[in-house]
Chain A
């Protein structure tokens, strides 16, 4: 985690969200969702993304594309040990392929531009870091 994402302020909160999005993109490349679980708590959509990746990995699938990119964001709302932020994300087109490299039927998704998104974070003093508690994409 970059140092700028470990400060308990608005800049740190925004940096953490960008870091978490980078972790999602990394998960898509290496099919390892553990970091998504490590840096989230009771985050329903984080778990859904992790679970989908793990199930697809177990099936021998790979992802091609699907990268998320934050294109714009609002200033985080800080409330004590929590933060909320609104952001706009683009998601690249995604194709899921099987072990043989063939596209899996029903698992091809178009590009989704300008997804109005958001995140809620909670500061974990034991780790001196933010954790994701809510992730909303689109």
Chain B
């Protein structure tokens, strides 16, 4: 069995053109089927799949629908011949696969009946629905700020979280981590950072304001890796975002101060 492939006794299209794979097949079936990830079929250099190689297929709840390449291979029938009289080496027994695999199509195929492990795309659909943390915005100075003195932004909310979900009987652990931070300053400016920022004196995210009242918040971008039944870790092919609660503060016209303004 070639790596990255799963066999199915039967694959067919319904009247709408949708593909369905199963291991229930009519008797004396003329073909057997192999379903492979397109990147494994096409890649000639590394033989490895990237998360971005997978197209997202629409799947009804509880169904596994994957972007796959369908290949078929002739079977020797009970009369010793193949469906199209393709020449079989003498003595080949009925039921034997003969000849090369033949590419049929690349399509979104319902493979639920094959009960395959969740694909990265399927895990991504679950990932997008997880109750990921909504990170809070902290600003310094606390309370009112002063114009002319940059406001520091950071979050001390957890930037990683693990989840365990059941996908069609498979235990899938998803390790989510914040990969991007977009700080909505409230004056029309958005700042981005790759980290959660830090409090004074180690600040990394700051913004200068004119005097006024502002509402700031943080949008967090989340990525993740996943394991199926404790197996090898793989990347979830995509990200999602959460919006944290807003904080409102006033920036006052600066006056002379005698103490550390960030206390």
Contacts and interface: CB of A to CB of B under 8 A. Distances in A.
A81 interface: no
Interface string A69-102: 0001111110000001111100000000000000
A88 B41 CA distance: 24
Contacts of A116: 89, 92, 96-98
Contacts of B88: 74, 86
A47 B87 contact: no
Contacts of A136: 73, 99-101
Contacts of A77: 84, 86-87
B116 interface: no
B99 A86 contact: yes
The listed residue with most A CB atoms (<10 A of its CB), out of B2, B43, B84, B87, is B87
Contacts, number: 69
A73 B89 contact: yes
Contact of A86 (B3, B40, B41, B89): B89
* Interface bracket on A: 20 to 34
B86 A74 contact: yes
Contacts of A75: 87
A127 interface: no
A44 B37 CA distance: 12
A118 B90 contact: no
15 contacts: A37-B44, A44-B2, A44-B41, A45-B2, A47-B43, A72-B89, A74-B88, A88-B89, A116-B97, A116-B98, A118-B73, A118-B99, A118-B100, A134-B100, A136-B73
Interface of A: 37, 42, 44-45, 47-48, 51, 72-77, 84-88, 116, 118-120, 134-136
3 closest A-B pairs (Cβ-Cβ)? Answer: A74-B87, A118-B99, A118-B100
